[in-house]
């Protein structure tokens, strides 16, 4: 059968979900300042070999629109995983051990921009939307792992007598 358990011992709360004695997941946690600063606790998943793995999650605001999240998980004694994440109106920045990740995006009626990065690799796109009655199109400029790429496309139509279009892809790749 399915096992679902919920409990509380003082400030510590426990949730268990499973389908048998060793096929269950148990999370015991204690809120920090009534969840205003995070939570800490333990996770157990016996079938996966995880027993009483400690975790700590903290979050705070460093500005009116900036949320900082830090977490530590120790699945086995001496084997800790740490991460920090910053989220604001521009995007997300995260660090997990020796790895870093970042993402930004902006969208308006006139265009958009997006940046995605992992360690030293970066994907950057910028786009403009052209729409002035007789011309419709877009311009996308980007950098993909250090290589510049642009796509320029538009269609111009004047009644049924005239139709013109262009589609150009350019890059700084040699050859």
Tell me the DSSP string of 43-102: EEEGGGTEEEEEEEEEEEEEETTEEEEEEEEEEETTEEEEEEEEEETTEEEEEETTEEEE
Q: What is the pLDDT of residue 129?
A: 67
Give tens-digit pLDDT for 119-154. Answer: 877 777 777 766 666 667 767 777 766 778 888 887
Q: What is the pTM of this model?
A: 0.56
> Among 66, 45, 68, which residue's Cα sits nearest to residue 57?
68
Total Cβ atoms within 10 A of residue 67? 14
Q: Cα(124)–Cα(140) distance, rounded to whole angstroms?
A: 10
């Amino acid at each position: 059968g399915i096992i679902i358990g919920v409990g509380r011992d003082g400030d510590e709360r426990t949730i268990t979900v499973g389908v048998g004695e060793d096929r269950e997941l148990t999370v015991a946690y204690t809120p920090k300042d009534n969840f205003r600063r995070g939570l800490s606790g333990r996770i157990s998943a016996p079938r996966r070999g995880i027993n009483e793995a400690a975790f700590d999650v903290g979050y705070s605001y460093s500005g009116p629109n900036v949320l900082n999240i830090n977490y530590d998980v120790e699945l086995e004694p001496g084997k800790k995983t740490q991460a920090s994440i910053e989220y604001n109106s521009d995007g997300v920045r995260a660090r997990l051990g020796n790895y870093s990740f970042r993402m930004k995006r902006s969208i308006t009626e006139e265009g958009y921009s997006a940046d995605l990065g992992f360690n030293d690799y970066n994907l950057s796109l910028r786009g403009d939307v052209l729409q002035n009655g007789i011309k419709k199109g877009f311009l996308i400029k980007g950098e993909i792992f250090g290589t510049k790429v642009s796509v320029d496309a538009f269609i111009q139509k004047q009644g049924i007598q005239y139709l013109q279009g262009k589609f150009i892809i350019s890059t700084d790749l040699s050859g």
